[in-house]
Chain A
């Protein structure tokens, strides 16, 4: 697959403080890549370097084949950016903001008109296109900014916390729009705090902590990789004697909570087989059996804590 983003040892210092420390990764064409990290971890600074807003102190960023420091105009012409803070011009109307963006991308007037109509309809703002942005809600502003970033039909879209602090309706609209854009071939680089959002949307996620990349993988792989122990929740039709470690193969410990057993196991497959056999031995039936995978939240917290130690 073609590489759309390639960061090689990107480093940014503010004074003596190294905010981004030799970060390297790549994003392939058609991928949704989630960029996760705590506040101050270096997510926004990395995104700003990738989008050519900030220069790096060392390392390179290649976007769509262009070195962002050497050929910023060519690279920027082909990607769109939804920055962290709402930043449409509040003294202009939605239509005027769209026109300004179209002109900054040097599009012909007819194309700007056509894309403005299409995009403002898509984000549900066409009825209020002549109203000044000052009167818009936060959700409306964010939808407008998304529309502004798409005016030139970019191949790659950078989004920095696009749904932060938004109402459910706007969040839902933006996420479903991102899925559609990705389905149509657009590569998406999504910086977010929202693990559930990353879990649902992203093909791969990268986790940054204190300026260093500490993990990059698919959300599911990341979740299973952090837990060498797995949890199984099981309930039987009738009471069974307490399950002790060693009673059954693969089981580390087990405890009863309500009518269920929470069983910590090292080998999921062996443990499930032994639980099924155990229920036969006890002359009972299994009512429910769930394997509880760690959430991406847990994976994130575990990974960032491990790095802190």
Chain B
């Protein structure tokens, strides 16, 4: 890679950071968004905690962390492009010297940072409830990679060339909720039927929950290294596919 290319990439990363700051200001630092980010997984968690008292808290906390990562990283990002498309601010961005890839990178960065911030709150709740964190660095790594992975998935939802946010949110919820139930959050993977376990392989949430559970309880279903490799592959594929689709489909949105 030539120095000119490196300068070009560095310059696009700076522009992406401008998008990140803009997104955080406009979309994430809003009371309702922050509250939704915490309340939604907390209530799902409480529903299962109250309903099935035989499942220990140490098991459920992994699911809570996974769900928080998942719901916060995909809460706003699918709707940013449709919002900006209808407000015509996307056209403003498209006429400036930022590449579509850098725009997506910036949006994903905002989504991932928001997700990481909120997820730390749930981790602190777990620790306050008496759980001991056994593998802090592994937990930190999975939170960072997981947030990025779900941010990429959130941007994938946004690739649909419509400027009606409700359409995208409906589709994204149709995918998100089933994913929660096949990822070993409420039912341990060991207790799932073979077809359920097979479905779980296709959910990145499965691997995140497995790593978080390992961080708190030292127990895991898959080898941790496999969890990380699969998660990184999901992240790379999601990021690449998201950038490719947005680049192809963005003109239809303008």
Give chain A interface residues in 69-109, CB to chain B under 8 Å. Answer: 72-74, 76-77, 81, 83, 85-92, 96, 100-101, 103-106
Which residue of the partner chain, among A76, A87, A92, A104, contacts B91 with CB atoms under 8 Å? A87
- How distant is B21 from chain A, measured CB to nearest CB, in Å? 8
B97 touches A91 (CB 8 A): no
Q: Is A219 part of the contact surface with B, judged by Cβ < 8 Å?
A: no
What is the minimal beta-carbon distance from A67 to any residue of chain B, in angstroms? 15
Contact A104 B96 (CB under 8 A): yes
**Contacting residues, chain B, for A90 (C-beta < 8 A):** 87
- B1-27 interface mask toward A, CB cutoff 8 Å, 1 = contact, 0 = none? 000000010011011011001100110
Query: How many residues of chain A have a CB within 8 Å of chain B?
Result: 29
Residues of A within 8 A of B93 (CB): 104
B58 at the interface (CB under 8 A from A): no
| Nearest CB in chain A: distance from B115 CB, A | 21
Binary A-proximity of B114-146 (CB < 8 A = 1, otherwise 0): 000000000000000000000000000000000
Question: For A76, what are the chain B residues with a Cβ–Cβ distance below 8 Å?
Answer: 95-97
Q: How far does the alpha carbon of A90 sit from the alpha carbon of B12 in the complex, in Å? A: 25
Of A51-59, A254-262, A285-293, the stretch lying at the interface with chain B is: A51-59
CB-CB contacts below 8 Å: A190-239 with B = none
Closest chain-B Cβ to A74's Cβ sits at a distance in Å of 8
Chain B residue at minimal CB-CB distance from A14: B252
CB distance B99 to A73 under 8 Å? yes
A53 and B254 form a contact (CB under 8 A) = yes
Q: Please report the C-alpha to C-alpha distance between residue A96 and residue B93 in the assembled complex, in whole angstroms.
A: 15
B10 to chain A, nearest CB (A): 9
Contact B97 A73 (CB under 8 A): yes
* Distance of A115 Cα from B231 Cα, bound (Å): 45
Contact partner, B254, options A48, A72, A77, A92, Cβ 8 Å: A48
CB neighbours of A105 from chain B (8 A):
96-97
* B224 CB within 8 Å of chain A: no
Specify which of B18, B22, B89 is in contact with A87 (CB 8 Å cutoff): B89
Interface of A is mostly: loop
Complex Cα spacing A228 to B10, Å: 60
Residues of A within 8 A of B236 (CB): none
Partner of B15, one of A51, A88, A103, A148: A103
Chain A residues with CB under 8 Å of B8's CB are: 73
* Cβ-based interface call for B94 (8 A): yes
Q: A100-B18, A106-B14 are in contact. Are A77 and B97 (CB under 8 A)?
A: yes
A102 to chain B, nearest CB (A): 9
B94 adjacent to A104 (CB under 8 Å): no
Q: Are B95 and A92 in contact (CB under 8 A)?
A: no
The CA-CA distance from A106 to B9 in the complex, in Å, is 12
Contact A103 B94 (CB under 8 A): no
CB distance from B13 to the nearest CB of A (A): 10
Cα separation A220 to B11 with both chains bound (whole Å): 46
CB-defined contacts of B99 to chain A, threshold 8 Å: 72-73
> B97 near A83 (CB under 8 angstroms)?
no
CB-CB contacts of B74-99 with A at 8 A, as 1s and 0s?
00000000000001110111111111
Alpha-carbon gap, A103 to B94, bound state (A): 14
A53 contact from B11, B14, B15, B91, Cβ within 8 A: B91
The A-contacting residues of B in range 192-224, CB under 8 angstroms, are none
Residues of chain A with a CB closer than 8 A to B11's CB: 106
Which residues from A are CB-within-8-Å of B88? 83, 85-87
**Complex-state Cα separation, A83 to B89, whole angstroms:** 10
Q: Which residues of B contact A55 (CB under 8 A)?
A: 251
Given A53-B254, A106-B15, answer yes or no on A92-B22 (Cβ-Cβ < 8 Å). Answer: yes
Query: How distant is B14 from chain A, measured CB to nearest CB, in Å?
Result: 6
A sample of 17 cross-chain residue pairs with beta-carbon separation below 8 angstroms, ordered by A number, consists of: A48-B91, A51-B95, A53-B95, A53-B251, A73-B97, A73-B98, A83-B88, A83-B92, A83-B95, A85-B91, A87-B89, A91-B25, A92-B26, A101-B96, A103-B21, A106-B97, A148-B92
**Cβ-closest 8 pairs across A and B:** A103-B18, A76-B97, A81-B95, A87-B88, A104-B96, A85-B88, A73-B97, A77-B97
4 further contact pairs, Cβ within 8 A, besides A92-B26, A105-B97: A72-B99, A73-B98, A76-B96, A100-B22
